Amino acid sequence: MTKTSHYFLLLLAAVSLAACTSTVVRKPAQADRPPAARPGTPPPPAGSVAVVKRGDTLYGIAFRNGLDVREVAAWNGIGPPYTIYPGQRLRLSPRAGARATPSTTAGATPRRAVSPGTSAGTGPRTPAATAGSPASATPRPTRPPATQGTTPPLPTPPAQPVASNFDWRWPAQGSLLNRFVAGEPTRQGIDIGGESGAPVQAAADGVVVYSGSGLVGYGELIIVKHNDAWLSAYGHNRARLVNEGAIVKAGQQIAVMGRTGAPREMLHFEIRHNGRPVDPMLYLPRR
């Protein structure tokens, strides 16, 4: 074999090896794409915008995005009664450099539930030992020194519910199917199982600020505003019995239980404080 033929065979082998090891690039299939937004999705990132569709309300848009309606109104220069129009573009975050609204100010200390007979932020106190008293003379047990370079973590106190000052009622009779799970997008409330046609009642006095089926995943939905900070939501109804603007009383029937947007007859119930879901079981009476 000549030297030229030898070089030719080596070149042919190198080309064949490169063809075998080339990387195949494919377009992502439908299953590879991220799922669509689901109920309870965390607040949108900075710069997000919502385009108003026919039937939308500012309360519905804020609820869908986990925001306080007062924040959305302030970011877009909208005053009460929060009228919006189809095609309108709404900011879902403050402008860069804008001051935070009172409900989202960083470092703010939330109000907490206070037990009867105690003052907010206080607890049982231990009398200070006086000089010369037996307590001050008793030697304290010494702790073993911490390992150099490490600091023992401080225990985290359990979170307490924010005081609502409402006499909440159960919105429906039935078995508890699912409970609230913080941070879980599909578990931002509780699910109460029941029979189709069972009454759904307002959990507290308020005014209806949303009555429709435009929020994906909630079916026929009603949202009741109790004050500027507190809302309650009632989803998967078979029929809605109240319209937006209606004033309702605690215990008043506002809907009929169904399964719109759900695998079975149930009521999905949420309580939100400043637009953020809280655990309804911390507020509903035991039964």
pLDDT digits (tens, 9 = 90+) for 201-213: 999 999 999 999 9
Q: Lowest-confidence range among 32-46, 199-213, 223-237?
A: 32-46
Cis peptide before 42 (omega within 30 of 0): no
Q: DSSP secondary-structure letter at 258?
A: B
- Domain layout of the chain by residue ranges: 49-95, 175-282
Higher pLDDT, 110 or 174: 174
49-95 in CATH: which number? Answer: 3.10.350.10
Q: Which residue has the higher pLDDT, 170 or 45?
A: 170
Question: Around Cβ 21, how many Cβ atoms within 10 Å?
Answer: 7
9 — pLDDT class (breaks 50, 70, 90): low
Q: How confident is the model at residue 56 (pLDDT cuts 50, 70, 90)?
A: very high
CB-based contact 236:269 (threshold 8 Å): no
* pLDDT (tens digit per residue) in 87-98: 999 999 998 766
Task: Read off the pLDDT of each residue in 166-179 and give the average, rounded to a whole number.
Answer: 96
Which pair of tokens denotes residue 243?
A: 């319209």
User: Of 12-26, 176-190, 234-248, where does mean pLDDT reach its minimum?
Assistant: 12-26
pTM for this entry: 0.66
Predicted local distance difference test score (pLDDT) of residue 46: 85
CA–CA separation, 235 and 214 (whole Å): 11
Q: What is the pLDDT of residues 236-271, one digit of tens each?
A: 999 999 999 999 999 999 999 999 999 999 999 999
- Where are the extended beta strands (E) located within 18-157? 49-51, 89-91
Q: What would the two tokens of residue 38 be?
A: 């689901």
Which pLDDT belongs to residue 35? 34
Whose CA is closest to 109, among 69, 53, 150, 162?
162
Task: Tell me if 266 sits within 8 A of 257, measured CB to CB.
Answer: yes
> Which is nearest to 86 in space by CA: 211, 214, 259?
214
Residue closest to 48 by CA, chosen among 33, 32, 62, 34? 62
Domain at 175-282, CATH homologous superfamily: Glucose Permease (Domain IIA) (2.70.70.10)
